[in-house]
Structure 1
Amino acid sequence: MSAGDLGSTLEGQPLLALTVAAIVLAVAAQMVSAQRPSLGTGMRNVAYLGLLVAGLLTVVQFAGSNRTSDAALWLDHTREARIEGDETVIAMRADGHFWVKAQLNGEPVDFMIDTGATYTTVPQSVAQRTGLAASEDGEGRLLDTANGTVVARMGLARSLRLGTIEASDLPLAVLPDTQNDTAVIGMNLLSQMKSWRVEGERLILTP
């Protein structure tokens, strides 16, 4: 490979260029350490720092290209909805679901969007934290969930807000707490919107 080809390759791959530069600097540090120890030590520390940065950036890059990797799951987290014009955009997480950080009665709650769910649901612990009172009148309602069929109590949310979407007096189902508690936004909220659609890894809601 000619010097020109090598230069073109490194120019197109900045992480590789950083790694090569750090290695070259480490070799140079070893060469000058005998005559100028302090300079050699400084050069060696910079080289190690460059290798560390290159390694971290490689992990981040790999996580971005492989959504199911351990690194991707570790870096992944629920985000607030992004507003584009009058639309609310929710990004897909590494698990393949759409999650959003919403405000329930003014308190932050992570919700999963589930178009197969009839009702918006929250676990009992979230209902207590957000001041959502489940009705004690009448019989509970049977709901099919990922944890099987459960008896839920119905409650009423004063407000549920995400992006440009805001619902008042929204009926919610309060579920018993389990190990894998998940708050879910269901069709009783989505059906109130003008439209919703999925484009690639984005869920777009129009109020």
Structure 2
Amino acid sequence: MTEDAETACRALMRICADWESAAHNFLAEEVDSDLLESSVNFLSLTQSAQCLSYLARIVTEGERFTFARIRDCVESHVVQINNPMLTHLYEKNRSLLDSTWEKSLNSLRDWMLVDLRDARGWQTMKVLIELRNASAHGGGRFTDRQRKNSQEFKKLVVEVKAMGYEIQNLRVIAYPDSVRDAAYAVREFILSVDSFTQFG
């Protein structure tokens, strides 16, 4: 494991510990009026919103590590080849390296012939990114953009529920261990990215 990956994994565990500390009191209190009718295994709406904000921090840490690693790999590759035309092409397209997940992953694939969509944990990471987007851009609800393609959204709902979440009126309802589970999943993805991007 590289030092950068180790640093990112430590950050994940700190976020998880922050959540455990913050959630300790309100998870211990059972407020019957605030519990979801579907199951006591899920958090209340307010608790879910707080939980998803921690999940968003975890996903962002995985994103930060992955985008930085892609930038470093591609830049190192261009410097090593030392071709003026390639350097010009790189300079022209450098902004794509960390603009979106799709563009970033495509950049590594196109420049280095490495596709992180094949990395261990990517499928889970992809769903966590959607949950982060629902939290960050929809206040805990799936956004219009996420629901634009009905077939893709149905698939996403199945994947989200398979991970243990509930959905009520397009709102994501978390379960008590979801932050810890997300931290472990993102850690697995980071370690896989770290392994995939060891060149030379």
TM-score per shorter chain, which class? under 0.3
TM-score (norm 2): 0.27
Q: Which has the higher contact order (CA 8 A, sep 6+)?
A: 2
Computing the radius of gyration over CA atoms, which structure comes out larger, 1 or 2?
A: 1
- Select the structure that is richer in strand: 1
TM-score (norm 1): 0.26
